[in-house]
Amino acid sequence: MKKAVRSTLKEFDISVQKYKNENYVLKLYVTGLTPRSVNAIDNLKRICEENLKGRYNLEIVDLYKNPSLAIGEQIIAAPTLIKKLPLPLRKVIGDMSNEERVLVGLDLKQVKNR
């Protein structure tokens, strides 16, 4: 493995350890109780309980009830998950069924090089 890649992996591991004790502030934007929205809620709750148990605050926002919130957060599709804290802010779009993608979005897993 090249030195630069090892250095990047080491930095990522240090970053993950730092986040290990931090609380996560998450907002999931959905559109009513559509099957896709329900799947996103269920999948995200499962992922959070398995990986962040006791260290997360999840707010679910129904854009049908509060459409103006989509503008302020620049939501272009739903469901959309926003990781507010710890920084950096991240967005994940979809029904949260791709666990690896969600974990990468939450900075709990590193992107695999292809």
CATH number at 34 reads: 3.40.30.10
Do 56 and 22 touch, CB atoms closer than 8 A?
no
Residue 60 resides in a domain: yes
67 pLDDT band, cuts 50/70/90, is very high
Residue 98 resides in a domain: yes
Residue 110 resides in a domain: no
Residue 113 resides in a domain: no
What per-residue confidence (pLDDT) applies to 12?
Answer: 55
For the question of whether the overall pTM of this predicted structure is more than 0.85, the answer is no
Residue 54 resides in a domain: yes
CA gap 99, 82 in Å, rounded: 15
Q: What is the mean pLDDT of residues 101-111?
A: 93
Domain range spanning residue 21? 3-105
The total number of structural domains that make up the chain: 1
Question: Which of these ranges, 16-25, 28-37, 61-70, 103-112, has the smallest mean pLDDT?
Answer: 16-25
CA gap 64, 44 in Å, rounded: 20
Report pLDDT digits (tens) over 83-92: 999 999 999 9
